[in-house]
Amino acid sequence: MIHFDEMACLLYLEGQLEPARAREMALHVGECGECSTLLHALERESHVLSAALTEDNEAMPARLLSTRSWGVPSWVWTLAFGVFAFGAYWLWADSVDPWLQRLSNAGFGGTDFVSMLLFSGAFWEGWSYMIDVLQVVAVVLVGVAAVGLLRRRVRRPTAIAVIMSVLALALAVPQRAAATEIRREESVLVPATEVIHSDLIVSGASVRVDGTVEGDLIAFSGTLTVTGHVTGDIIAFAGQMRMEGTVDGNIRVISHSLSVDGSVAKNVAFIGSTFDLTERGQVGGSLITINTDADLDGHIHRDLLGLISRTSLDGGLGGQMMVRGKSLRIGATGEIGGRATFRGSRKPVIAPGAKLASPLQIVSQEEHRRELFEAIRVMINEIVGFGVALLLGILLVTVLPGFFHATLRETGRIGAPIGVGALALLTGIFLLALGILLMFVGVGAGVAGVLAYAPILYVAQIFVGAWLGNKILGEASSTTGAVIMRIALGLVILHAAGLIPFLGGLIWLTVGLWGTGAVLLGFYRMSRTDEIVTLPA
């Protein structure tokens, strides 16, 4: 007797067998003990499986049942961000900055990280910038990798926020374990004989530090005078500040005026009105400033980066000078050890005795205007490019929704479309080379290839943009408006990111490969018809 196989028995039990075959089986089972036993065993197996899966269900944890677990409370993020910023600051001040200084001492030069953020557009120059950019990219990649790894283990946002906070604290705490002293009075005086063995946070109308602070000095005051010794940084928000003592770290100040008549071992960052570096004044690192008037009679060992309306330099500058403002005067005693650039409306005045390592580069108002026009042109190009891409996206969503969604799904697979895109690029290059080799045969094919490839390359950004929009705003509902909004957001981000020097090129290359691969895969999916498969009897 020919028996039914196990597959047919299972499909029969589950009501999936064609009616004619099911009738045949019903008749057969009545006569065949072996098939009947198998059928019975399979049925029992189904029951056992269902029972095993439904029995002994674990209860849902009560904390998940609470609707409060719905969103991460905003204070968690605020706290996490605050603590993270705090940790990042310490990491910068105590690890990255000294490392950069060591690099600088080793002869690699370099601008400050903050200056890179503030002045990157204006002062794009050479290797030092590259080092900084690579450093930022490395830090960002480490951060992304850390979050990725954390997400695999701990997926709850609250837990991630807490872990990030703890990490940030872990970075900060070992270096500043001591307690902080806080003083809040109308007039605060730290006498010359007093030594504070911790950070000092101080606020008052008048603050004077003649003694020693073995840590950071953080001040909020009308007038701040430091004649003593601060072994850490000074961070101050003051009406007027005068520093006549010694600071082993950095000075970061927002105030109306700042006068440095003492010694600062690291950098000075100042935002305010007037800055005065007296003849006695020494800055071991760089001066970064946005202010109205700067009189620099003392010595700055590294760079000067500034948006300064009026600059007067009679002292020494060990590194580069990059200043944008109205006027610049370099006195007879002025010295600049590195490259010097000035962008301003008035012609700089350089006294005959001034010592400059290289001639002062002057970017005139006209050149400045030309640069501005160029920047505007680039912006208009970007806006037009964005508009065209968005229109194309709208067209795709409304006219070819099937293709659009299929390609968007492929875009979400990330690895596969990038691989296919890279392969397509390599194939394109190969065909181009072959075309050039074969000359006459290749011209037509090459032109046709380019004509086909160029639109795909352009459309690529729409899908990567839509994917990005989905990631930020959540997957779009079926409404066209929501999809278009996501495309628009993604395109804005891509076009903005594309403007970043160096990185922008890499971003567009990735977008090109990724999107092209997705479009090609989308075409493939759309062209594939589902084969009809019949099961063996």
Partner 1 sequence: MNPADQASELELIAQARAGNAEAWGELYRRFAPAIFRFCRRAMHTREDAEDATMDIFIKVRQKLSQFDSSRPFSAWLYTVAANHCWDLLRRRKGRQDLETGEIENMPLEHPDPGQLEQLIEKSTSQEVRRALDQLPSRARMALVLRYYADMSYDDVAATLGVRRAFVGVVLLRARHQLREILGGRGVVAGGTS
The residue whose two tokens read 């909020």 is 220
Give the 3-state secondary structure percentages of the chain, helix then strand then coil, rounded to 5: 55, 20, 25
Closer to partner 1 by Cβ: residue 64 or 451: 64
- Shortest Å distance, C-beta 47 to partner 1: 9
Q: For residue 514, give the nearest of 462, 449, 452 by alpha carbon.
A: 462
Least Å from the CB of residue 9 to partner 1: 9
Nearer to partner 1, 10 or 271 (CB): 10
Pairing mode, strands 251-260 and 268-277: parallel
Tokens in use for 266?
Answer: 């690291």
Binding site for partner 1 (CB under 8 A): 3, 5-7, 10-11, 14, 16, 34, 37-38, 40-42, 44-46, 48-61, 64-65, 67, 69-70, 152, 155-156, 474-475, 477-479, 530-531, 533-535
Tokens of 297: 């009679």
Residue owning tokens 């691989």: 419
Considering beta carbons, is residue 438 or 535 the nearer one to partner 1? 535
Nearer to partner 1, 18 or 185 (CB): 18
Q: Distance from first CA to last CA of the chain, Å, rounded?
A: 15
Beta carbon nearer to partner 1, 105 or 527: 527
Residue 58 carries which DSSP code?
P
- Contact assessment for residue 153 and residue 189, using Cβ atoms and an 8 Å cutoff: no
Least distance (Å) between residue 150 CB and partner 1 = 12
Q: How far is the CB of 34 from partner 1 (least distance, A)?
A: 6
User: What are the structure tokens assigned to 87, written together?
Assistant: 């940790």
Which run of H or of E encompasses 2? none
Q: Where are the beta strands (DSSP E) in 16-166?
A: none
CB of 391 to partner 1, least distance (A): 26
Choice between 85 and 473, CB closer to partner 1? 473
Q: Which is nearer to partner 1, 38 or 202 (CB)?
A: 38
Shortest distance, position 28 Cβ to partner 1, whole Å? 14
> What CA–CA distance (Å, rounded) separates 435 from 157?
54
The torsion angles phi and psi of 343, rounded to 5 degrees, stand at: -120, 120
Answer yes or no: are the C-beta atoms of 191 and 210 closer than 8 Å: yes
- Tell the smallest beta-carbon distance from residue 268 to partner 1 (Å): 47
Nearer of residues 13 and 394 to partner 1, judged by Cβ = 13
Residue 168 beta carbon to partner 1: minimum distance, rounded to whole angstroms: 23
Half-sphere exposure of 521 (CA within 13 A, CB side): 27
